[in-house]
Structure 1
């Protein structure tokens, strides 16, 4: 499956909208909107806002982060700011400083819930 890559030698400032899976390894300042899986590589330094579905952080992030389904912080992650996520996984070694908020399940997860009556 193809993905977008912003390499470790890249500096980007502004707003970016990512439609497919993306890996960010450079220095980014601004707003990132991801409609798929977003992976923040260990070499990345990101300052600003992230709005994503599934976000995995291994690098440094400072700002506001919103993960509609899942936020995973790996052992090398350094995150500072306001975090909102439906599910949060913090692996041993990850550093997190800020305010955490729990989100309601995404609409498509609510719609997938079915009940079966057994009589």
Structure 2
């Protein structure tokens, strides 16, 4: 009756789907592939020591902090992102918060209001200038 296997969506293995009409209020811990088309109001965290990836679809919304090895955003996220391996900001991504990354990829059209913080720079514990305001960054396609 129920399948034990992951399905594929946008080229990623998906174990858990939060549908477009679903609203979750509260913190969420996951492992495997999490695909969000709905809305989450709370902290989203990957389980320690397990492979995990979060894919926020174009119509998806997360209002809260995100901690996961792989984070792919094409929707709206209000909160800080902590990606242990890589973060991808797709064309329709709208992020309001700081993005902590090891590897980052941004597509033309992605918008970020906040700071990009590289993991190595954070590990060195360099003091951040307190007076520096967040930056709004919009990626546009380069002309040939």
User: TM-score when scaled to structure 1?
Assistant: 0.84
> In structure 1, what is the equivalent of residue 30 of structure 2?
18
Any stretches of 5+ residues in structure 1 without a counterpart? 105-119
User: Are positions 1:91 and 2:103 aligned together?
Assistant: no
User: Are positions 1:32 and 2:44 aligned together?
Assistant: yes
Residue range with higher mean Cα deviation, 29-38 or 58-67: 29-38
* Equivalences for residues 46-57 of structure 1 within 5 A: 46-57=62-73
Equivalent residues, number: 104
Distance between the aligned counterparts of 1:57 and 1:80, measured in 2? 12
Distance between the aligned counterparts of 1:13 and 1:19, measured in 2? 19
> Of Structure 1 and Structure 2, which has the larger fraction of its residues in strand?
1
Q: Once superposed, what is the RMSD of the aligned Cα atoms? A: 1.0
SS in 1 for 2:87: strand
Of the three residues 78, 82, 87, the one matched with 1:66 is 82
Distance between the aligned counterparts of 2:46 and 2:73, measured in 1? 14
Any stretches of 5+ residues in structure 2 without a counterpart? 7-14, 121-144
SS in 2 for 1:76: coil
Cα deviation, residue 34, structure 1 = 2.1
User: Are positions 1:82 and 2:94 aligned together?
Assistant: no
SS in 2 for 1:96: strand
Cα deviation, residue 51, structure 1 = 0.1
Q: Deviations over 1:34-64 (max 9, x none)?
A: 2411100111111111000000000000111
